[in-house]
Amino acid sequence: MEDWLERAAKLRQWTGNGVRAPHKPLLLLYALGRFQRDADGELRYSAVEDDLKRLLAEYGPANRTTPAYPFHHLVGDGVWEVRTDRGPGSPGSGVRELRSTGAAGRLAPELRAALRREPALLGRMARILLDLHFPPSLHDELCEAVGLEWEWEPEGSVHLPDAGPRDRRRRDGRMRELVLTAYEYQCAFCGYDGRIGAVPVGLEAAHVRWWAFDGPDDIDNGLCLCSLHHKLFESGTGTASWCRNASSDGARRPATMSSRWRAVR
């Protein structure tokens, strides 16, 4: 089991401007979800292309991309195989070639066998992919989007094989309080400041650069957002450009906000 967990943790990813593209993790999560429904079924590229496009549009980088890249390149990580109407092997990363040759992919035979022997492996692999590549606020809806149904493993409950310095990082539990204090317990977008007595309710500390993508746990990388705008921000539907001014007492307050949303990840 540990070998497959290590492979899931060490997927080779394209990196641009210090940000790792989540294309391969998304495809692998999608494939795990499909495995649950049909363990031996193949994913014909032309049949799943639209599904994968939607996943990339919602959970991938802001720049336009194609699912053809992970469909072809995930083979090199040893967890995925592709064949065409001509036989085994991928025709390449070109969309036309994948369509015209009837390219179809599925989990590698050895991984499928391991998942049958150890059903718990699927949930552990999924948890590693989620923890390493996506913020916790998106985990539930992402599992629903890819059709994953499994007994939920709490965040951090699965040991992450050491894939480098980034996997040894630990979250700073003080960040939420520091960020909420800096923003005077108000959502930086809508100004929501709900409380029950003296306890703030529905306010969260969001990372401008996701923690999963090496964003630091500090105020300069934080925004105080209500639960709704935090989810919109991290899904890419509501990422925004905010200006913050330091007040005379050192607190950071939201100043003007752009009317247009733009992706920062």
What DSSP element (H or E) covers 55? Answer: helix 45-59
What does 112-150 look like in DSSP terms, one character per residue? HHHHHH-THHHHHHHHHHHHHHS-GGGHHHHHHHHT---
Give residue 84's pLDDT band: very low, low, confident or very high (50, 70, 90).
very high
The pLDDT tens digits for 89-136 are: 999 999 999 999 999 999 999 999 999 999 999 999 999 999 988 888
Same domain, 134 and 231: no
Predicted TM-score of the model (pTM): 0.67
pLDDT of residue 174: 79
The pLDDT tens digits for 153-174 are: 555 545 555 544 444 455 566 7
The domain boundary residue, chosen from 166, 193, 218: 166
CA dihedral over 216, 218, 219, 224, signed as positive or negative: positive
Q: Does 264 score more than 60 pLDDT?
A: no
Same domain, 157 and 198: no
Same domain, 63 and 147: yes
Same domain, 158 and 31: yes
How far, in Å, CA of 105 to CA of 230, rounded? Answer: 35
Domain with 25, as residue range(s), is 2-166
Same domain, 162 and 179: no
pLDDT of residue 252: 44
Total domains, the chain: 2
Same domain, 44 and 114: yes
